Amino acid sequence: MGKHSTEVMFVLLVALGVLSPSATSAHAVSAVDKRVAAPVAASNPTVSGTAISPLNVRVLPAPRTAADVENEAYEHGEKRTLDRKMTEYTGDLALVTLFVLLVALAQAVLFFVQLRLMRASLADTKAAAIAATLGAKASQQSADTAKISMIASERAYVHFAGLRYISHTHLADGRIFWRLRPHWRNSGNTPTRGLRVYVRYEFRDEILPTDYPFALDVQPNEQPSTISLEPSGTIGSGTHDLWGTDLADVAKGIKHLYVWGVATYRSVFDESGEHVTKFCVKAENITGDPTAFWNPDLPFGIDFVGVSHHNCADEDCRI
């Protein structure tokens, strides 16, 4: 058979399915290679043998079955379901996040409002505390004022109540002398406690100076007993005898007679410690005859006038 007849036969066999595609491809490639190799060998005497070219193989996919189609449809359905659920979950998550954000914002607003209310409450509490403190102070001041007023109106007040003078006849020579006795009075509404009184007499040639020390110089045998002077009560203190002729000199301005004294006491309230009253008076305007015994038909009188100093009570005596 000739070369042409062989190629025709090969094509028929392939068409009838006797030869496989791979064999067919190999045979076709072999025939082509032989045609190509012949001229190359002829032109190059040093090349011998047959040149083999690589084969290109295409793998065809296997036919799809019904199960494959069903599995693929199932997988596509699952994927769509998962995508839908993921979308829904993402939307739900966004809503939850928005809700949490709104809750946080509401809490922040509530906290701010509570803070302002707390500050306002603290301010009100502080104002109430200040008002309560002021009220307590006002109440205490009112109570103190009421107590002071009550004490001031009820406590004992001792003051100098004048001098009494009585004429006497001296038994030895019949001369007239006058016995002077200062008196003290409690003008308060409660009795005194621990009352002590001291009196001094100054029969002088000169007027009492303004810087006179008024020193008591209490002697040991002169310590008076403490007494209680009842409300509206009067008590006399130490006496002093003065000749009628001495009083006549006072009336003429030749001599000067001063009487001064001090009273110390406490009240029943003991609110401010010891109280003190001081007095100093001068004998002036002596009327009648001091050398004659007192006679109601021949009146006799002595005016005792307070001087500008040593007449005080309590705080005024400490100035």
- The amino acid that residue 190 corresponds to is T
pLDDT at 70 over 90: no
Summarised one tens digit per residue, pLDDT across range 73-111 is 888 888 888 888 888 888 888 888 999 999 999 989 988
pLDDT at 164: 95
Residue 307: closest CA among 201, 238, 209: 209
Q: How far apart are CA 241 and CA 180, in angstroms?
A: 6
This model's pTM is above 0.85: no
Residue 34 has pLDDT above 60, yes or no: no
Interatomic CA distance for residues 304 and 285, integer angstroms: 8
Contact (CB, 8 A) for 280 and 257:
no
The closest of 150, 223, 232, 226 to 191, measured between CA atoms, is: 232
Write out pLDDT tens, residues 126-162: 888 898 888 899 888 888 888 888 888 889 999 999 9
Residue 263 · residue 226 · CB < 8 Å: no
The per-residue pLDDT for range 216-258, each reduced to its tens digit, is 877 766 667 678 899 999 999 889 999 999 999 999 999 999 9
The burial of 311, by beta-carbon neighbours within 10 Å (0-12 exposed, 13-18 middle, 19 or more buried), is given as middle
194 vs 51: which has the higher pLDDT:
194
